[in-house]
């Protein structure tokens, strides 16, 4: 995003309201509704959803953490949370910056479930996290 768009988000100067607060709620809702959004995604009992942001000069990094005690992992719920949070930020800021880009969305870590633990290799740290 343009630096002035990120600055407006940081100052709370977006006319549609508090961008990060609304995007956090949207991400949480998306995690809880992942089976309704993604065909064949198992409905799970989601115990907790955390959506956090790191605001930089020209981008906002979004991180979602989802917990469950269910039989499988919650990767799709976390990825849905990040995706919908990013779309919400775009929607709320598009009047200032239609050229924003939603960048790489990736799974960084997963524990539990049938497939066990997954951690993205450190060389994956070079992936862009632009919005």
User: Is 91 a residue of the active site?
Assistant: yes
**Cα–Cα dist 51/37, whole Å:** 18
**Cα–Cα dist 90/112, whole Å:** 32
Closest CA to 26 of 95, 108, 87: 87
Q: Which of 36, 70, 91, 126 is catalytic?
A: 91
Closest CA to 23 of 72, 93, 104, 122: 93
**Cα–Cα dist 85/27, whole Å:** 5
**Cα–Cα dist 2/27, whole Å:** 23
Enzyme catalytic residues? 91
């Amino acid at each position: 995003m343009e630096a002035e768009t990120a600055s407006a988000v940081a100052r709370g100067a977006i006319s549609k309201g508090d961008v990060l607060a609304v995007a956090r709620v949207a991400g949480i809702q998306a995690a809880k509704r992942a089976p309704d959004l993604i065909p064949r995604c198992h409905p799970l009992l989601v115990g907790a959803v955390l959506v956090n942001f790191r605001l930089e000069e020209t981008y906002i990094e979004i991180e979602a953490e989802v917990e469950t005690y269910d039989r499988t992992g919650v990767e799709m719920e976390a990825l849905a949370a990040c995706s919908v949070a990013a779309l919400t930020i775009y929607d709320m800021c598009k009047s200032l910056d239609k050229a924003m880009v939603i960048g790489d969305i990736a799974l960084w870590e997963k524990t539990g479930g049938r497939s066990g633990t997954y951690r993205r290799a450190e060389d994956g740290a070079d992936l862009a996290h632009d919005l």
